[in-house]
Amino acid sequence: MLDRRLAETYAAWFRALADATRVQILNLLAEHPEPMTVGQIVERVPVGQSTVSAHLKVLAEARFVLSDKRGTATLYRVNQRCVSCFPSAADLVMGKTPAEVEAMLP
C-alpha cells in the first residue's frame, strides 16, 4: 500500500487535473515552446482572465506549473519533472508494483 504522504501528493495531482479547463491549460503550456503570460493563455482558452488565473493557481499548487516573474509579467511553464512523474503515479495508484513501473520507464 502507498504511504499516506505519497497518497496525498497523488490525490492533489488528480484533483488538479479534475477540471477540463485545467487540462487544456496544462496541455497548452506543454505544447508551447516558451513560457506564457496569463494574457497569452486567455487568448487561446475560452475563459476569462480571472478564471485562467484561478486555474493556474491550482496547477501551481500541485506543482504541475511553475511561474517566473519578469518585470511586471508572470510567465507560466510546465514543470517537466512533475509531469514526467504523473504517469508512474497513476500506475502505482492502480496497483502496479514499483518494479513494474520502473521497467516501463524509458
Is 24 contained in some domain?
A: yes
Q: Residue 4: what pLDDT? A: 87
Q: pLDDT tier at 81 (50, 70, 90 boundaries)?
A: confident
CA dist 94 and 24 (Å) reads 24
Is 103 contained in some domain?
A: no
Is 35 contained in some domain?
A: yes
Question: Are 27 and 41 contacting, i.e. CB atoms less than 8 angstroms apart?
Answer: no
Is 92 contained in some domain?
A: no
Q: Residue 86: what pLDDT? A: 65
Is 96 contained in some domain?
A: no
Is 62 contained in some domain?
A: yes
Q: What does the angle CA 99 – CA 104 – CA 106 come to, to the nearest 5 degrees?
A: 120
CA dist 70 and 58 (Å) reads 21
Is 85 contained in some domain?
A: no
pTM, full prediction = 0.79
> Can you give the residue range of the structural domain that contains 60?
4-79
pLDDT at 101 over 70: no
Structural domain tally of the chain? 1
The percentage of the chain sitting over the pLDDT mark of 70, rounded to a whole number, equals 78
Q: Residue 100: what pLDDT? A: 62
Dihedral Cα 47, 55, 87, 32, nearest 10 deg? 60
Is 106 contained in some domain?
A: no
Residues 12-48 have pLDDT tens digits of: 888 998 999 999 999 999 999 899 999 999 999 999 9
The percentage of the chain sitting over the pLDDT mark of 90, rounded to a whole number, equals 48
pLDDT at 87 over 70: no
CATH of the domain at 54: 1.10.10.10
